[in-house]
């Protein structure tokens, strides 16, 4: 398949034009990505569990991080830490978690794969730490998004990159993504959309998840 769903293990953030957050999704790989400029995405957060990187997220309020629900499945929030303002994994300001809220309709098929993390205290804003706005409308076909995260950058990589990486991906029309040669009607219109390259793809595109309105 040329369209690969970003639902494996390491979170990425999709950013719409004008710095609007489209979704917090996740990916095992961000193939052919490039290293991001330091602090280019000051809303990106890192989830650390038992001192190990597990996922990414997006800071949407001073004390709220948006992430993928599966990242929090079977996790003790007392062992979870959130890092913001960092460029390398494990860097930046660290905050403890007060509460995690998983979408009530999240399931094993990764529908409604979205969750909120409430921090124990508000972050301290700076040029390295900012929130990102939520979208007011669905993404537009063929518009470019940015995937940012610490997912593996090569299909042959064993380790994740130390610093944040990014990749620019276009939104793919749902009818193409749901066609027989791709996902065969498995992408749900109300909770998912597709991004990536269809023909002669040189990178791994993906499906992102959004909460239904």
pLDDT tier, 2 (very low <50, low <70, confident <90, very high otherwise): very low
Beta bridge partners of 152: 29
On whether residue 95 sits in a domain, the answer given is yes
Whole-angstrom distance, CA of residue 207 vs CA of residue 172: 9
Whole-angstrom distance, CA of residue 115 vs CA of residue 135: 16
34-35 vs 64-67, strand pairing mode: unpaired
On whether residue 179 sits in a domain, the answer given is yes
Residues 92 and 107 in one domain: yes
- Tens of pLDDT along 38-60? 999 899 999 999 999 888 889 99
Give the percent of the chain with pLDDT over 70.
Answer: 75
DSSP 176: H
- DSSP structure string for 88-146: BTT-SEEEEEEEEEE-TT--TT-TT--EEEEESS----BTTB---BPPSSPPPTT-EEE
Residues 49 and 33 in one domain: no
On whether residue 127 sits in a domain, the answer given is no
Residues 86 and 110 in one domain: yes
On whether residue 125 sits in a domain, the answer given is no
Q: Is 200 exposed, middle or buried (0-12, 13-18, 19+ CB in 10 A)?
A: exposed
Residues 162 and 149 in one domain: yes
pLDDT tier, 155 (very low <50, low <70, confident <90, very high otherwise): low
- Tens of pLDDT along 104-119? 998 877 788 889 999 9
Three-state DSSP class for residue 175: helix
Assess whether pLDDT exceeds 60 at residue 27.
Answer: no
Mean pLDDT, residues 146-168: 78
- Going 14 to 146 to 65 to 73, the CA torsion angle's sign is positive
Q: Which residues contact 146 (CB under 8 A, 6 or more apart)?
A: 13, 14, 15, 41, 166, 167, 168, 169
Residues 170 and 191 in one domain: yes
Range of the structural domain that residue 200 is part of: 11-39+132-209
**pLDDT score at 33:** 74
- The number of folded domains in the chain is 2
CB 195 within 8 A of CB 209: no
Residues 27 and 85 in one domain: no
pLDDT tier, 148 (very low <50, low <70, confident <90, very high otherwise): confident
On whether residue 23 sits in a domain, the answer given is yes
Q: What's the CATH code of the domain at 90?
A: 2.40.10.10
């Amino acid at each position: 398949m040329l369209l690969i769903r970003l639902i494996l293990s390491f979170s990425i953030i999709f950013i719409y034009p004008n710095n609007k957050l489209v979704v917090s999704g996740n990916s095992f790989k961000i193939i052919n990505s490039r290293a991001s400029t330091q602090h280019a995405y000051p809303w990106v957060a890192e989830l650390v569990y038992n001192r190990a990187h597990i996922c990414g997220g997006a800071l949407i309020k001073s004390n709220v991080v948006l992430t993928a629900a599966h990242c929090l499945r079977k996790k003790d929030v007392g062992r979870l830490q959130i890092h913001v303002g960092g460029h390398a994994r494990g860097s930046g300001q660290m905050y403890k978690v007060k509460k995690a809220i998983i979408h009530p309709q999240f399931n094993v098929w990764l529908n409604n794969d979205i969750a909120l993390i409430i921090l124990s205290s508000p972050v301290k804003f700076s040029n390295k730490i900012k929130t990102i706005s939520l979208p007011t409308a669905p993404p537009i076909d063929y518009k470019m998004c940015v995937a940012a995260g610490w997912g593996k950058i090569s299909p042959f990589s064993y380790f994740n990159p130390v610093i944040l990486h990014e990749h620019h991906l276009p939104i793919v029309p749902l009818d193409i993504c749901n066609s027989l040669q791709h996902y065969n009607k498995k992408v749900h219109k109300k909770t998912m959309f597709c991004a990536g390259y269809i023909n002669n793809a040189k990178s791994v595109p993906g499906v992102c998840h959004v909460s239904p309105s």
